[in-house]
Amino acid sequence: MTNSLFDISGKIALVTGSTHGLGMAMAKGLGQAGATIIVNGNSSQEKIDNAVTEYKNEGIHAIGYKFDVSNEQEVISSIKKIETEIGYIDILINNAGIIKRTPLIDMEVDDFKQVINIDLVSPFIVSKHVVRGMIERKQGKIINICSMMTELGRNTVGAYAAAKGGLKMLTKNMATEWAKYNIQVNGIGPGYFATSQTAPIRVDGHPFNDFIVGRTPAAKWGDPSDLAGAAIFLSSKASDFVNGHILYVDGGILATIGKPSNEDED
């Protein structure tokens, strides 16, 4: 019974921005649980091909499709191609995103719009065209990748926070409109994870490393594989009555206002 609840073998999962980082970590989790992974990226075909090879080396059935998630016509044509060549998409993880670290007072309007477009408008575009097949089959799972900035502000990431805050409410509205078709739409809010991008600052004595370790009740950075369980849960029958929820995988950051500097260690 327990195994069948989490069984996603044979499912087709499109994970946007899955050529590296947390997107790849979640996609690998789904792939290792038996799903076929549609690998998406837009920077280069070579990067997609290399990622597909990495998946296959781990025994995961993966196929790559290059398209821009912010371009509706590319999304429409690519989804039609996936449905024709592979099959209907059972699981969609809207992971692709960007961040521009600029104080709001210095940020160009075009840069602000670009972040909103990729981080908020793109999940709407991709979901809108994937969900049609889900509605037809009366089943599907959509997972929008949110952030700590879905709930908290931070210097220099105002556009990103605005997009990720909006993504929470978009998730809830998608759930509201599509639940009647047996489609569950939820979000995952990753905390701070040990990836190749964060490697340069994950060293003792670095101010941000010390801040994250001190701010997180678990007192460590997350391992990307920690996201796999959340992704599998929200992609499987185990979450069939979970809808419009944001699951924060953050080591407890959002559970506390943080430890005062003068508080004694245990």
Would you say the C-alpha torsion 13, 233, 52, 61 has a positive or negative sign?
A: negative
The per-residue pLDDT for 35 is: 98
Mean pLDDT of the chain: 95
Q: Cβ contacts of residue 154 below 8 Å, gap of 6+?
A: 161
Q: Tell me whether residue 160 is one of the annotated catalytic residues.
A: yes
| pLDDT above 60: residue 71 | yes
Mean predicted confidence (pLDDT) in 163-171: 98
The per-residue pLDDT for 262 is: 46
Residue 74: alpha-carbon gap to chain centroid: 20
Q: Cβ contacts of residue 265 below 8 Å, gap of 6+?
A: none
Judged by DSSP in three states, 149 sits in helix
The per-residue pLDDT for 258 is: 76
If you search the block for the tokens 């592979």, which residue do you land on? Answer: 86
Q: Cβ contacts of residue 52 below 8 Å, gap of 6+?
A: 39, 62, 63, 64
| pLDDT above 60: residue 24 | yes
Indicate which residue of 55, 65, 160, 192 is catalytic. Answer: 160
pLDDT tens-digit profile of 205-250?
Answer: 999 999 999 999 999 999 999 999 999 999 999 999 999 999 999 9
* pTM summary value: 0.95
Mean predicted confidence (pLDDT) in 147-154: 96
Strands (E), the chain: 12-15, 36-41, 62-66, 91-94, 140-145, 183-190, 246-249
* Confidence at 197, pLDDT banded by 50, 70, 90: confident
Among 174, 239, 224, 235, residue whose Cα is nearest residue 194: 224
The CA distance from 118 to 189, in Å, is 17
| pLDDT above 60: residue 54 | yes
Q: Cβ contacts of residue 254 below 8 Å, gap of 6+?
A: 148, 151, 152, 189, 248
